[in-house]
Structure 1
Amino acid sequence: MLAPTELFQHLLEESRQAFFVYSVSESRMLYLSEAYERLFPGARRDEIDADLPKLLSYLPPDDQAYARDCFAQLAAGQLHDDLLLRVQPSPDVPLRWLAVQAHQSRASDGQVLLSGAVQDVTVEQEYLRNADLYMSKKNTTLEILSHDLAGPFNMLQQLAEFIGEKTQVLEDPQVQRMIQVMQDTCRDSVKLIRDFVDSEFMDSANVELKRTREDLAEALQQMVETYQQGEHLVAKTFTFSSTHPHVYAEIDHNKFLQVVNNLMSNAIKFTRENGHIAVGVEQHPDHVLVTVADDGVGIPARLHPVLFDRFTKARRPGLRGEKSTGLGMHLIKTLVQLHGGSIWFESQENVGTTFRIHLPTPPAPTPAG
């Protein structure tokens, strides 16, 4: 029968995860399991100390500084979350995702150690990111369709009201009942459309965030491109701009894009035909700034102080009669704050409105001892 230590060693060596123990104090690997050689074909465990700089070069350039900061924080005991890293040894090799679970500890002789495991999670990440992309496109398409479908119903309701006024002189109860049915059907249809879309957003505020490092520039550009495909449906023009090709932030992908989607939805509601709606993202040293701007009818000054209140008095129908629950802006602010960010706006009647979202980026790590 195998001894407990021998059995444990056998389990470590046969696992798909690569287990490691690294001495921060001595800058060398004390233990590395066999799975490391399966994760990196051609690599050898006994050469790991010499290979460490090369392994860092396997990360895309945008990720290398991020990885250095994370491992510095781990070494200093300041980071307790798992890491998700992209790896691509060469351009002709498909990109892979590695999950790193590690924690800092001290040995009996005072050495600072990092111990943990590395696992290839490429399949899981590709599935999740495809799902995120689908969800983002689904939410954007729902917003476009909701405005496109609600418009004709609102127009029919207004026509029914006009016809009702003109036919009152006939004093025909049957005609009045039929007109009333038309009005009720149109009103209920618009309500059903908006309730369906709003429920998608309101339900999300009650779910715990799952934040990962995401390229906001790429995600927002994809969202705006979906809106651009529906420009002819809502009679608006959409544009996107970014100060950098890649802008990274720690966000819950679906929930943050729902925030931007709802800001876009509001912009569509209160922007006249042939108006312009612009989404932008800016990279700053200590934060990321996201903007959603329109040249619509603006928000009356008297409503500014209460816009983010729960069941706010600032709720008002859109230009096509779209209803408002009064919860949308409150939930937007709640989700932004859950991300550790803040949101504010500038608006002037008949000029337009600009919403700004400030997302802090992690501070530089304290150097490890």
Structure 2
Amino acid sequence: MEDFKDFYSTSNLKQIKILSMILLVITASSRILTAIFYDEVVKIPSYTEHSIGNVIQLTGAVVFYTLSRIALQNGNWSQQQKKTLTLAFILFVLLITFGVSYVISMHNTKNTLLMFLIGIVTVSLFFAIEYREIMAISIFVVVLFILSMVMPKIAFQEKITNVIAAFILGFILLCFSRYGYYFKSQHFVRLKQLEEKNLEIELLNNQKGEILGFVAHDLRNPLNNIEALSELMLLENQNNLEAKMIANSAKQAKEIINDLLEAVKSEQGLLETKRHELVSFLTPIITRWKTNSKREILFIAEPKKIATAINSSKLERVIDNLISNAIKFSPTDKPIEITLNLHHTNVCIVVKDNGIGIPDYLQKHIFKQFSKAGRKGLQGEKSVGLGLHISKRIIERHKGRLLMQSKENEGTAFTILLPMS
């Protein structure tokens, strides 16, 4: 409850600042127009009263705007001080709206309802007021309305009608205000619940990272041992199919663990980057893939020297993943094309294959974690749907974008856009 009181007392001050600024602009503009067209304006009935009212409104707007700014900038104001300022502004709004309509209606209260209702609705919508305060304000409205009938000479029947109208206005103010207070309190509760949920999610993310770290530490070592033993068995007999299956399974398990760890790391803030010349960065990566895969990979760079800030190990992982996918989903007799160029203010790296492409219904899932778009390669290679998700996160941490364009049975192109540094 105290949190809500503190929240809405500050929110009320912000509303005072905004509304008093609007009132200041309106009254100042009115004053300027009066000065410009003075000869015509002075002919308006009750001009003197309008002029006095305008000075009061202008002065009040300046005072409340100044006080609200001071209160918002100075964190030492107590809840009671904030509440007092809010109540004073509410009474000020009600008085000036009533005063304007009272003068316009030539002091006949039966014609003041519209302007006064505007003041009541403004107070109800913009401010969160506690029950005791709004009761006091409602009584003030009733008393003000009744006292306003003392000066004008009106029939007794009209006085009775106006008294009834006064009670109706006070009731409207009370009902509107409580209704607004209820919704403001519900909004605050939802905000607090959302904050708590965010804290829970943050805690779960931290726990996820700890669990994956534990998995990596405890599973990598036995997998390394299994892989080493299978390689020894293959040294003795290169045709040992069981040893090959063991080695491939161990390698695949290690890749899954590395992907899981990278998925966690790729959510952690900005990267440390260093300026690199990209042709010299990409050339050894492409050469390694040519050697290991025995595939034709074409590399075209224009211009020959393009440099920007990158995290070399992370970007290498992205390039490796894109080339791996291109090889996985294209026939062995079709070349992989890699181009490097400049596109407006971005460095553009495109990895294109001429393979089976991605069906339209899978394309919207392609960058999601544990994607539904994960498919077996043409040689039966398996995927857990993390590679492209990780790649996209890495590029985004470089303040860049990873785009995809694909057509089924015609191939796929992944485009990396990195900002020039």
TM-score, structure 1 as length reference: 0.45
TM-score, structure 2 as length reference: 0.40
- The higher relative CO (CA closer than 8 Å, separation ≥ 6) is in 1
